[in-house]
């Protein structure tokens, strides 16, 4: 699988000749130029994961792309008359020979009184898990983990402990677009996870890796 980090949580995943885009949010705009996208996965409704104008541009450039998301995001898309398929916790589907599974139900708590939203992580081809804004631990084996490393709902130490729970072969950082110097949040996971046999691959926007 080839992974290109467009920014923050927006990833372009290429597998079996298909391209899957995750969370076209407001913290990145490289997705606005991408073509050949077959599917879009949206974990939740926060603006850094769902930016409607950007999503519309993605669909304009990729009219064949199919959106998979949860009902919380779906309610927003319905108002915009954008087609989607619901894929939530415990649900699975197959997309051109690529399995997709929804895992997790709630966004991690931010602060008392801040409304909770539905957050659905996605296990792609029983290989890569992108959790969105939550520390959901799949029962299934995960080979590659998109690891959130910064946000108002988490501490960096929690990210490290989460990766140790999931026990992937490889992890790489996401959810770091709020940082002035994202690389600073890559150092601790890199040094600590290697001790547990987890390869951590720091990634900057625009960088691609094969895993």
Residue 39: Cβ-neighbour burial (10 angstroms; 0-12, 13-18, 19+) = buried
Phi, psi of 82 (to 5 degrees): -105, 130
Q: Domain of 148?
A: 2-210
Please tell me the predicted confidence (pLDDT) of residue 16. 96
Q: pLDDT tens digits, residue range 47-90? A: 999 999 999 999 999 999 999 999 999 999 999 999 999 999 99
The pLDDT mean for the chain works out to: 97
Please tell me the predicted confidence (pLDDT) of residue 24. 98
Percent of the chain with pLDDT over 70: 100
Please tell me the predicted confidence (pLDDT) of residue 21. 98
CATH code of the domain in which 202 resides: 3.60.15.10
Q: pLDDT tens digits, residue range 155-182? A: 999 999 999 999 999 999 999 999 999 9
Domain tally, the chain: 1
What is the rounded CA–CA span in Å between residue 77 and residue 63?
15
| Confidence band of 108 (pLDDT split at 50, 70, 90) | very high
Closest CA to 174 of 210, 198, 145: 145
Please tell me the predicted confidence (pLDDT) of residue 129. 98
Please tell me the predicted confidence (pLDDT) of residue 145. 98
CA distances 180 to 6, 30, 145, 175, 185, Å, are: 16, 18, 23, 13, 10
| Confidence band of 119 (pLDDT split at 50, 70, 90) | very high
Phi, psi of 184 (to 5 degrees): -65, -35
């Amino acid at each position: 699988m080839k992974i290109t980090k467009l920014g923050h949580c927006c990833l372009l995943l290429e597998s079996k000749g298909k391209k899957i885009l995750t969370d076209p949010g407001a913290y990145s705009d490289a997705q606005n130029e991408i073509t050949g996208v077959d599917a879009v996965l949206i974990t939740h409704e926060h603006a850094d994961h769902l930016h409607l104008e950007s999503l519309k541009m993605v669909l304009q450039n990729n009219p064949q792309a199919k959106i998979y998301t949860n009902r919380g995001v779906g309610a927003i898309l319905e108002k915009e008359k954008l087609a989607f398929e619901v894929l939530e916790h415990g649900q699975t589907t197959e997309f051109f020979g690529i399995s997709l599974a929804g895992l997790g139900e709630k966004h991690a708590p931010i602060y008392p009184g801040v409304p909770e939203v539905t957050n659905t992580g996605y296990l792609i081809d029983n290989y890569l898990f992108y959790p969105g804004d939550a520390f959901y631990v799949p029962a299934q084996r995960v080979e590659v983990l998109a690891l959130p490393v910064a946000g108002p709902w988490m501490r960096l130490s929690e990210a490290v402990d989460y990766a140790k729970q999931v026990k992937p072969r490889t992890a790489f950082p996401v959810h770091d677009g709020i940082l002035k110097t994202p690389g600073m949040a890559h150092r601790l996971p890199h040094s600590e996870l290697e001790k547990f046999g987890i390869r951590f691959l720091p990634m900057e926007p625009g960088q691609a890796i094969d895993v």
